[in-house]
Amino acid sequence: MAGPLTGIVVLDLGQVYSGPYCALLLAHLGARIIKVEPPPAGEPLRSRGESEASGESFNFQLLNGGKESLILDLKDAAGLDAFRQLAQRADVLVENFAPGTTARLGIDYPAVSGINPRIVYASVKAFAADSVSSGLRGMDLTVQASSGVMSVNGYPDGPPLRCGPSLVDFLGGAHLAMGILAALFERSVTGRGQSIEVALQDAVIPTLASNLSGWLTDPSAPERTGNRHGGMLESPYNTYPAADGWVSVLCLTEAQWRGLCELIGRPDLRDDKELATSAGRVARMHMIDEVVGSWIIERTAAEAAEALQRAGVPAAKIATLGQLFSGEMARSSPMIQRSDEAGGDATYTFGSPVRLGNHPPRRSGPVPSLGQHTAAILESLSQGGADGR
Amino acid sequence: MAGPLTGIVVLDLGQVYSGPYCALLLAHLGARIIKVEPPPAGEPLRSRGESEASGESFNFQLLNGGKESLILDLKDAAGLDAFRQLAQRADVLVENFAPGTTARLGIDYPAVSGINPRIVYASVKAFAADSVSSGLRGMDLTVQASSGVMSVNGYPDGPPLRCGPSLVDFLGGAHLAMGILAALFERSVTGRGQSIEVALQDAVIPTLASNLSGWLTDPSAPERTGNRHGGMLESPYNTYPAADGWVSVLCLTEAQWRGLCELIGRPDLRDDKELATSAGRVARMHMIDEVVGSWIIERTAAEAAEALQRAGVPAAKIATLGQLFSGEMARSSPMIQRSDEAGGDATYTFGSPVRLGNHPPRRSGPVPSLGQHTAAILESLSQGGADGR
């Protein structure tokens, strides 16, 4: 079979990142994804930022290649009826509406499980139903603020700073996909579905492990540590200017530290017993940063990173999006898949980070235009629901 | 049953964050986790940063509550033999060793699947085997550098900056857990296991969706946008000083924008047709930031965020770790579970962000001391492998 989820039908009611990313991960596992979009313009990401003349926004393309697009007005009786027929036949429903929306539409878990007890009904919300923030709205930025993420990003003497990547939304989507698979696994034994919920705030909290450990160790220390370790518990752990860029370096193990000392010609530091533990190195962090920094600044970033890697030390030069997207990543990674469609512009869709030994990486299908599959899906329903079964 | 994975046995060879977090997620789904650690000191995280007298490091506690600890020297014939007996009976193996280590130890996928074809063998590596960086070492910091994450974090006029949270490692662990569940689901049909691999670099790339979209729209724009939207494709989207802190605000939909304008007493902006699209608002981003900012600075962060939420606008005040950990989060969230053990210090372990409708959130068990379960596990092996079956 094409993937572990071959034959599984997913109704993707997702918007923007977390819900659509979850459904994209399921698509790469072989599931059929029916993206249910509202009239007249589809989900908000379709036209975000860019002119409508140029087709779907890049954001939308990245998350939605290979899905089918079905326009349904869920506020309309005929639309709701078609949705219920689909839900009766589907295996999974994914939604990340604002709190209360599915109940208002009449498609919350009690309603949908009533017509299909086998369905796995998966929701992302900003905050858990049992948290003090239950019911509040939140997207990536909001939860970066509320979770402590922004409080630990930036410089000790500067204000809180948003993390550049949308880590919150994508952690939410990945955890939701995991929950769906757990529920499908359980259903293969019990025959019953269940609801799954992931709160964005909960999904990002584990990423603060270093910061929380630092706070538990010394609650008075600055929460923002710039380029240093989030809990100030490792050294070397920093980003150093090279002759032509920057290099990030850390040593977690003693072997890595010894390898670094030998590479930079400092056997005295290698043999210094005080520096043989991370606590000992942290106590002399400024000296270590100066020693490592003065070795790196005399080399190009690529030379320094390569020599450090040969010495067994995790190190990398800092790459720009431009370098990655137009160079290495575009050529060698199945993570950003470019499709050149006849007569149209190129489109880009994310691949899956999950490689399965039994299945080759899947190429994403084309990005659906709004409502492209509406007629075919509604027709299959009227013919008794042959959709994919 | 206690969870979807009741009866599943996982060998956790993980170190630091990505592998152990994956196994912790499986534990919260009901699996039994046997953490295999090397003599004499266990995995590197046990003693990271903090003094050994105070027990396991906070980092270690957060990721390893409820697991069993088994010391095995895999470089020794007896240790390797015991490991092979365990692997024969296990359902899942999780490892995030440096490239080449499992082959050197004789426990790579070909070796282990030879003695147990049903095993799901799950690996995290820094870079995919088919990427140009294949075989290089990398941890969270390294991949933040190599993936473009650091290039998009920070200020337009400043250097690249590490993201404060360890997003790379935890995205790796969550995706790996998803892959394991997909493979277990497939095994329930085929009876066969498989290998799963997640590259940290691949797992973090989707979080750059906004940034990549911005770069595709205008490759000459700064990659770092401070507190503004990563692709400069939304406005308002920023963090504003309040009388006593900061508030993050964004409007994704027209309804949110209209709600904001009404709240701050600017019906003229609500009715301005040029501002009715995100592209139109982005073109006048500075004016919008000034209008929103001057409304927020006259209020406390809590007042402003609450009023915005009531108007339907996603907004939150920026929380510090101290506020969260000692207040709301500690009391109301099952995400950070505190155990007060008799005669010992309190320990803290992460809960799971994935809530299952059919199962209550699981409380983590105690944090295992190094080798605490060695004798019991080896004894059960010598009695014919009754471990958990």
Optimal mutation site among B318, B320, B326, interface A, most CBs of chain A within 10 A: B318
Q: Domain coordinates of chain B in residue numbers?
A: 9-206+327-382, 246-317
**Token pair belonging to A142:** 């909001």
Instruction: Report the relative pairing of strands A336-340 and B237-241 from DSSP bridges.
Output: unpaired
Burial zone of B78 (CB within 10 Å; 0-12 exposed, 13-18 middle, 19+ buried):
exposed
B6 CA: distance to closest CA in chain A (Å): 10
Query: What is the Cα–Cα distance from A292 to A238, expressed in whole angstroms?
Result: 9
Give residue A47's pLDDT.
77
Instruction: Report the relative pairing of strands B120-125 and B92-95 from DSSP bridges.
Output: parallel
Optimal mutation site among A22, A123, A162, interface B, most CBs of chain B within 10 A: A162
Contacts of B143 in chain A (CB under 8 A): 316
Query: What is the Cα–Cα distance from A21 to A352, expressed in whole angstroms?
Result: 10
**Token pair belonging to B218:** 């205008």
Say if residues A323 and B146 touch (Cβ distance below 8 Å): no
Query: What is the Cα–Cα distance from B240 to A120, expressed in whole angstroms?
Result: 40
CB contact under 8 A, A333 and B205: yes
Of B4, B131, B192, which has the smallest distance from its Cβ to A332's Cβ? B131
Query: What is the Cα–Cα distance from A181 to A170, expressed in whole angstroms?
Result: 17
B373 CA: distance to closest CA in chain A (Å): 25
Query: What is the Cα–Cα distance from A241 to A317, expressed in whole angstroms?
Result: 10
Contacts of B335 in chain A (CB under 8 A): 202, 205-206
The secondary structure of A231-300 as a DSSP string is TS--SSEEEEE-SSSEEEEE--SHHHHHHHHHHTT-HHHHT-GGGGSHHHHHHTHHHHHHHHHHHHTTS-
Question: For chain A, what is the radius of gyration of the CA atoms?
Answer: 25
Burial zone of A143 (CB within 10 Å; 0-12 exposed, 13-18 middle, 19+ buried):
buried
Q: For A190, name the nearest residue in chain B, comparing CA atoms only.
A: B4
B345 CA: distance to closest CA in chain A (Å): 12
Distances (CA, A) of B187 to A32, A289, A373, B11, B388: 20, 49, 32, 18, 20
Task: Sort residue A192 into left (φ over 0), alpha (ψ -120 to 50) or beta.
Answer: beta
Long-range contacts of B215-218 (CB under 8 A, 24+ apart): B215/A321, B215/A322, B215/A325, B216/A58, B216/A325, B216/A348, B217/A49, B217/A50, B217/A58
Distances (CA, A) of A358 to A4, A89, B36: 9, 28, 26
Number of A to B CB contacts under 8 A, please give it: 486
User: Which CATH code of 3.30.43.10, 3.40.50.1370, 1.20.140.160, 3.30.1540.10 fits the domain covering A246-317?
Assistant: 3.30.1540.10
Instruction: For chain A, 389 residues long, give each residue's pLDDT as a single digit of tens.
Output: 689 999 999 999 999 999 999 999 999 999 999 999 999 999 989 876 554 445 788 999 999 999 999 999 999 999 999 999 999 999 999 999 999 999 999 999 999 999 999 999 999 999 999 888 999 999 999 999 999 999 999 999 999 999 999 999 999 999 999 999 999 999 999 999 999 999 999 999 999 999 999 998 899 999 999 999 988 889 999 999 999 999 999 998 899 999 999 999 999 999 999 999 888 999 999 999 999 999 999 999 999 999 999 999 999 999 999 888 877 656 667 898 888 766 677 889 999 999 999 999 988 889 999 999 999 999 998 886 544 44
Of B58, B179, B216, which has the smallest distance from its Cβ to A212's Cβ? B58
Say if residues A214 and B359 touch (Cβ distance below 8 Å): no
Full-model pTM: 0.96
Query: What is the Cα–Cα distance from B348 to A293, expressed in whole angstroms?
Result: 36
CB contact under 8 A, A230 and B165: yes
Of A139, A150, A167, which has the smallest distance from its Cβ to B167's Cβ? A167
Q: For B311, name the nearest residue in chain A, comparing CA atoms only.
A: A137
B7 CA: distance to closest CA in chain A (Å): 12
Helices (H), chain B: 18-28, 58-64, 77-89, 101-105, 109-115, 140-146, 167-190, 200-204, 209-217, 254-263, 267-270, 278-283, 285-296, 301-310, 321-326, 328-332, 374-382
Optimal mutation site among A170, A196, A228, interface B, most CBs of chain B within 10 A: A170
- Cα B292–B297–B301 angle (5° rounding)? 100
Contacts of B205 in chain A (CB under 8 A): 329, 333, 335-336, 350, 353
Say if residues A192 and B176 touch (Cβ distance below 8 Å): no
Optimal mutation site among B210, B223, B325, B352, interface A, most CBs of chain A within 10 A: B210
Of A145, A155, A332, which has the smallest distance from its Cβ to B239's Cβ? A145
Distances (CA, A) of B352 to A172, B172, B308, B333, B356: 12, 15, 30, 10, 10
DSSP, res B38: -
Q: Quick: pLDDT tens for A1-34.
A: 689 999 999 999 999 999 999 999 999 999 999 9
Say if residues B49 and A282 touch (Cβ distance below 8 Å): yes
Of B148, B206, B282, which has the smallest distance from its Cβ to A324's Cβ? B148
Query: What is the Cα–Cα distance from B123 to B180, expressed in whole angstroms?
Result: 10
Collect all residues with Cβ–Cβ distance below 8 Å to A89 and sequence separation of at least 6.
A9, A116, A385, A387, A389
Give residue B278's pLDDT.
87
Closest CA to A148 of A209, A97, A84: A209
Give the 3-state secondary structure percentages of chain A, helix then strand then coil, rounded to 5.
Answer: 45, 15, 40
Of B49, B175, B358, which has the smallest distance from its Cβ to A279's Cβ? B49
CB contact under 8 A, B164 and A179: no
Query: What is the Cα–Cα distance from B217 to A51, expressed in whole angstroms?
Result: 10
CB contact under 8 A, A151 and B252: no
Instruction: For chain B, 389 residues long, give each residue's pLDDT as a single digit of tens.
Output: 689 999 999 999 999 999 999 999 999 999 999 999 999 999 989 876 554 445 788 999 999 999 999 999 999 999 999 999 999 999 999 999 999 999 999 999 999 999 999 999 999 999 999 888 999 999 999 999 999 999 999 999 999 999 999 999 999 999 999 999 999 999 999 999 999 999 999 999 999 999 999 998 899 999 999 999 988 889 999 999 999 999 999 998 899 999 999 999 999 999 999 999 888 999 999 999 999 999 999 999 999 999 999 999 999 999 999 888 877 656 667 898 888 766 677 889 999 999 999 999 988 889 999 999 999 999 998 886 544 44
B181 CA: distance to closest CA in chain A (Å): 6
Q: Quick: pLDDT tens for B83-113.
A: 999 999 999 999 999 999 999 999 999 999 9
Rounded to the nearest 10°, the torsion over CA A29, A32, A33, A39 is 170
Query: What is the Cα–Cα distance from B153 to B147, expressed in whole angstroms?
Result: 12
Q: How many CB atoms lie within 10 A of CB A389?
A: 10
Give the 3-state secondary structure percentages of chain B, helix then strand then coil, rounded to 5.
Answer: 45, 15, 40
CB contact under 8 A, B164 and A176: no
ipTM metric: 0.96
Give residue B388's pLDDT.
42
CB contact under 8 A, A163 and B162: no
**Token pair belonging to B250:** 């964004």
Structural fold of domain A9-206+327-382:
Rossmann fold (3.40.50)
Can you say how many angstroms the Cα of residue B290 is from the centroid of all Cα atoms in its chain? Answer: 35
Contacts of A241 in chain B (CB under 8 A): 159
H/E element, B338:
strand B336-340
Give residue B244's pLDDT.
96
Query: What is the Cα–Cα distance from B381 to A154, expressed in whole angstroms?
Result: 50
Instruction: Report the relative pairing of strands A246-250 and A315-317 from DSSP bridges.
Output: antiparallel
